[in-house]
Every structure is written in structure tokens, then in C-alpha cells.
Amino acid sequence: MRLRKEPGIQVKSPEQIARMYAAGQVVARTLSVLKEAVRPGITTAELDSIAEREIRGAGAVPSFLGYFGYPASICTSLNEQVVHGIPSPEQALRPGDVISIDCGAILHGWHGDSALTVGVGEIDPADQAMLDACAASMWGRDRAGGGREPARRYLARGGKVGARFRGLRADPRVHRARHRY
């Protein structure tokens, strides 16, 4: 039986923060390359191959590959898939699709993890409005509502957020230096 809980906040040294930042930069660069690669006809498996090449090329290891048996380097969720979809050679992107890509990398024992959602070519205006409202809320472009006002305005105009666009909370175990490579 455990009598002690882990501390809720783990204070990091400047060196640890620099390592975390470096791992995050690997993920940011990989997502940037993937964003440029998204186009009609490319498969989610091809995106996964690109991601693995970029991550390993940076001297890092894909966080997701092998994690509890996960078979890929990224998670790809297309349209109605909620989150953590597995890339597939049979899943080709089509114009108008909306894809979310979750990427993680371990560099010198530290995890970087982020995701992005992009349209494939021209997407439905309602989908674009929802993506724009979410981005504005996330980046706090309207601080009057605590950063959430753009999303409130989107919903007030009749916008809908259904299962297609819901996310799940990340497993905190992934974000700690639980396993080292």
C-alpha cells in the first residue's frame, strides 16, 4: 500500500526545462512538416512514415510507437474519429477532410507532445469557423472571456461541437519521464 502521494507539482531545473523545450521543438518541427504534407491522396500511414523519419532524424524516438503496444509514431484522427486513431495505408485523405495529428517524441529522456488539426484542401465553412474559434480560444486572442469568448460566439451563432471534434485528456504518465530511451 502506498502511503505517500506524488507531489502535485514537480519543480524543474533550468536544465530540465531546456531539455523539455528541445523535445517540444522536435515535435513542433515534425508537426510543421506534417502540416505541409497534408494533401488529398496521401495516406495516414504515409504521414506516420514522414513523422518517424523526422523524429528519428532529430535524434529522438517516437513517444507513441510501442506505448502499450501502439503500432505507430503518430495518432491520426480523420473527420468523425474522436482521438488517437491509428494510421493506415487504406486511409487516404480527401478534399474537405479534417485531420487531427497527435505527435510525441522523446529526446534525451524528455517527452514533447502536441497536436494540430488541419483541413485537407478547402473545407466546409462551418468546419473552418469551428477550427478558427478553437484556435482563437486556445491562443487567447480574446482575453475578455478568459480566452473562451471566440468559442462562445461560435456556439451562439449556431455552431455545433459534436463527437467529431471532442478531445480526451492526455495520460499524465506519458508526460513524466517514466521511461527513458
**Would you tell me how many other CB atoms lie within 10 Å of the CB of residue 28?**
16
Q: What average pLDDT does the structure give for the chain?
A: 82
User: pLDDT digit string (tens) for 39-78?
Assistant: 999 999 999 999 999 999 999 999 999 999 999 999 999 9
C-alpha cell at 32: 510543421
- The whole-number pLDDT of residue 63 equals 96
Q: Which helix (H) or strand (E) holds 76?
A: strand 74-78
SS3 92: strand
pLDDT tens readout for residues 86-134: 999 999 999 999 999 999 999 999 999 999 999 999 999 989 988 888 8
Task: State the pLDDT at residue 73.
Answer: 97
Full-model pTM = 0.75
Between CA 13 and CA 101 the distance in angstroms is 30
